[in-house]
């Protein structure tokens, strides 16, 4: 692991943290939270330590603890820092349901599909250790993705792409990709690759909708 360019550890005035009243350099939050996600992706929640985040970012451990009292707090902040999947505001529209579903899988959000899937694997491991983290992953990641898929399926139905007999299945089918993704991480603990999502889309989702692959 490479240590990034040194970050100033001098606290700046005027950015006071409520809890302690001691100054903290908020400008380095982004680096710290991104590094937290990198470590979470690399080794999972159990093996993530504040020491390593400090090492990776060039910050003093005490500085990190002053801002985030526990590993749980740091990871919560990291999850919240990424926001919701951008597809929820900008649905892909590539001309077919399958292309649009694959565009979500292939999204560059969070750097690249590989980094994003590794982060999601780390987040799944975090939900094993903390009910709070499980709740935040649910509301910030899982449920927004269900909403993205629901919108894509409803739009395809409105355009007449989905045979009428299968439209009733949309509400439950919108859950299939997130459900299978979590299940896959729970049961095999190895990275999920694009092939897995292609199989879920073709063998489950489009097959259940009686839509042929392009």
Task: Check binding of 105 to a copy of itself (CB under 8 A).
Answer: no
Up-side HSE of residue 199: CA atoms within 13 Å toward CB?
A: 8
Residues 158-177 that bind a copy of itself (CB under 8 A): 166, 168-169, 172-173, 175-176
Task: Check binding of 102 to a copy of itself (CB under 8 A).
Answer: no
Task: Give whichever of 118 and 209 is closer to a copy of itself, judged by the CB atom.
Answer: 209
53-74 burial, b at 16+ Cβ within 10 Å, e below that, comes to bbebbbbeeebbebbbeebeeb
Residues 181-210 that bind a copy of itself (CB under 8 A): 182-184, 186-187, 199-200, 203-205, 207-210
CB of 63 to a copy of itself, least distance (A): 29
CA gap 156, 64 in Å, rounded: 47
Select from 8-16, 18-26, 124-132, 150-158 the region that touches a copy of itself (CB under 8 A): 124-132
Q: Is-contact 56 74, C-beta < 8 A?
A: no
CB of 207 to a copy of itself, least distance (A): 4
Q: Which structure tokens are listed for 41?
A: 């992706």
Task: Give whichever of 113 and 178 is closer to a copy of itself, judged by the CB atom.
Answer: 178
Cα-based distances in Å from 210 to 161, 169, 201: 10, 11, 12
Q: Which of 178, 190, 192, 193 binds a copy of itself (CB under 8 A)?
A: 178
Q: Which of 134, 151, 155, 161 binds a copy of itself (CB under 8 A)?
A: 134
Task: Give whichever of 93 and 214 is closer to a copy of itself, judged by the CB atom.
Answer: 214
Q: How far out from the chain centre does Cα 105 lie?
A: 12
CA gap 57, 193 in Å, rounded: 29
Task: Give whichever of 39 and 211 is closer to a copy of itself, judged by the CB atom.
Answer: 211
Residues 25-54 that bind a copy of itself (CB under 8 A): 46
Task: Check binding of 129 to a copy of itself (CB under 8 A).
Answer: yes
CA gap 178, 196 in Å, rounded: 12
The dihedrals phi and psi of 8, each to the nearest 5 degrees, come to -55, 130
């Amino acid at each position: 692991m490479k240590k990034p360019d040194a970050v100033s550890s001098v606290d700046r005035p005027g950015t006071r943290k409520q809890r302690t009243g001691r100054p903290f350099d908020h400008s380095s939050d982004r680096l710290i939270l991104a590094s937290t996600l990198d470590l979470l992706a690399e080794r999972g929640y159990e093996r993530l330590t504040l020491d390593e985040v400090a090492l990776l970012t060039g910050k003093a451990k005490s500085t990190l603890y002053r801002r985030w009292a526990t590993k749980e707090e740091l990871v919560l902040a990291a999850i919240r820092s990424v926001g919701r999947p951008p597809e929820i505001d900008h649905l892909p529209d590539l001309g077919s349901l399958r292309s649009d579903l694959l565009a979500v899988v292939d999204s560059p959000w969070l750097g690249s599909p590989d980094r994003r899937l590794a982060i999601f694997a780390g987040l799944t491991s975090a939900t094993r250790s903390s009910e709070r983290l499980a709740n935040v992953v649910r509301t910030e990641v899982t449920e927004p993705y269900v909403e993205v898929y629901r919108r894509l399926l409803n739009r395809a139905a409105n355009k007449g792409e989905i045979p009428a007999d299968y439209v009733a299945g949309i509400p439950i089918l919108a859950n299939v990709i997130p459900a299978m993704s979590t299940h896959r991480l729970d049961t095999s603990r190895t990275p999920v690759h694009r092939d897995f999502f292609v199989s879920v889309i073709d063998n489950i989702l489009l097959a259940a909708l009686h839509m042929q692959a392009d």
